[in-house]
């Protein structure tokens, strides 16, 4: 029964994605009203996260960020649905890479790249635009969903233009498979580790935060340069992508230095436009004083 219901849900979402953008954004306006005012989706989580991250801001300022966030979240959901059917030409029109030559310089030197990013702006559309600009393998590390059917459908959308989706636990195996090829590995670096994986805490948005060490360990093992992808919203449905180098030579870094660098970079970006980050995510589940 659940499988049939899920399949019907996926079919419905595919049909919705065929609608033009201007109608989809009308649906996004309705979705915002439902999320914010009717079901109040995770608003307590969002409010708590904003209060802890920005104690210096007034209640009014935080409420404004909260409302802007839910408006963007509704757009993000609708834009993600559009991944079912959006054309290559439409994505190229709506997404701009500011400095593609920065990656190209590394790749031309025969160096693969480890790319950190966050749940910021429309991170999903990176799977749409970047494989169209670079011919090298684009590998996206992801955390599988508990709903396997929806998870497979989401990965099918993400890989429409050539991105290779690899579950987090298979990262090292995939790197070994691709050791003789050039690739760009993407890590969503603000994922929440499980409790037993929460081995290192750093300061992030004004509070101790458990972070994955996988990106740093892989960087030290391969000595590939570590970069960061900043996605910025220009106007509704239009984004710019900007790359920056975090670490050129991982072998020369101290323990946890790479992790701190990409975490601090993400925080700087969030503080510039906080409404574009995923505030309804339960990011701070674990306390360093309670973890072994």
DSSP for 254-290?
Answer: PTTHHHHHHHHHHHHHHHHSGGGB-TTS------TTT
Put simply, whether the predicted model's pTM sits higher than 0.85 gets the answer yes
Among candidate residues 134, 146, 151, 144, the one with its CA nearest the CA of residue 227: 134
Split at pLDDT 50, 70, 90, the class of 22 is very high
Split at pLDDT 50, 70, 90, the class of 9 is confident
The answer on pLDDT for 291 being more than 60 is: no
Among candidate residues 222, 223, 220, 269, the one with its CA nearest the CA of residue 244: 269
Residues 200-218 have pLDDT tens digits of: 999 999 999 999 999 999 9
Q: For residue 19, what pLDDT is reported?
A: 95
Among the residues of 122-256, which ranges form H helices? 126-133, 148-158, 171-177, 214-222
- In this prediction, residues 5-16 reach a mean pLDDT of 82
Q: Which residues, in sequence order, are CB contacts of 5 under 8 Å at separation 6+?
A: none
**Alpha-carbon 191 to chain mean position:** 9
Q: For residue 13, what pLDDT is reported?
A: 84
**Selected residue with higher pLDDT from 62 and 154:** 62
- In this prediction, residues 92-116 reach a mean pLDDT of 95
**Selected residue with higher pLDDT from 246 and 285:** 246
For the chain, what is the largest distance between any 2 Cα atoms, rounded to a whole number of angstroms?
Answer: 55
Q: For residue 195, what pLDDT is reported?
A: 75
The answer on pLDDT for 198 being more than 90 is: no
What CA–CA distance (Å, rounded) separates 212 from 208?
13
The answer on pLDDT for 1 being more than 60 is: no
Q: Which residues, in sequence order, are CB contacts of 281 under 8 Å at separation 6+?
A: 45, 119, 192
- In this prediction, residues 281-285 reach a mean pLDDT of 91
Residues 107-143 have pLDDT tens digits of: 999 999 999 999 999 999 999 999 999 999 999 999 8
The answer on pLDDT for 292 being more than 70 is: no
Q: For residue 49, what pLDDT is reported?
A: 98
Mean residue pLDDT across the chain: 93
């Amino acid at each position: 029964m659940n499988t049939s219901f899920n399949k019907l849900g996926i079919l419905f979402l595919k049909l919705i994605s065929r609608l033009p953008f201007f109608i989809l954004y009308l649906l996004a306006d309705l979705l915002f009203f439902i999320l914010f005012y009717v079901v109040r989706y995770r608003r307590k989580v969002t409010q708590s996260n904003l209060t802890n991250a920005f104690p210096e801001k007034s209640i009014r300022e935080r409420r404004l960020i909260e409302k802007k966030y839910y408006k963007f979240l509704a757009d993000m959901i609708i834009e993600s649905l559009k991944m079912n059917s959006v054309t290559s030409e439409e994505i190229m029109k709506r997404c701009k890479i500011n400095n593609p030559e920065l990656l190209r310089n590394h790749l031309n030197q025969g160096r693969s790249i480890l790319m950190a990013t966050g749940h910021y702006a429309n991170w999903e559309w990176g799977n749409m635009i970047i494989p169209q600009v670079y011919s090298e393998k684009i590998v996206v590390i992801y955390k599988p969903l508990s709903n396997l059917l929806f998870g497979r459908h989401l990965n099918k959308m993400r890989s429409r233009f050539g991105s290779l989706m690899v579950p987090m636990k298979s990262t090292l195996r995939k790197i070994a498979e691709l050791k003789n090829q050039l690739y760009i590995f993407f890590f969503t670096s603000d994922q929440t580790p499980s409790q037993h994986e929460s081995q290192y805490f750093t300061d992030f948005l004004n509070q101790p935060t458990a972070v994955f060490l996988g990106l740093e360990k892989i960087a030290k093992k391969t000595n590939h340069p570590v970069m960061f992808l900043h996605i910025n919203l220009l106007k509704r449905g239009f984004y710019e992508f900007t790359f920056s180098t975090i670490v050129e030579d991982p072998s020369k870094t101290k323990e946890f230095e790479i992790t701190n660098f990409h975490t601090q970079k993400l925080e700087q970006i969030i503080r510039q436009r906080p409404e574009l980050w995923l505030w309804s995510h339960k990011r701070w589940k674990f306390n360093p004083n309670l973890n072994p």
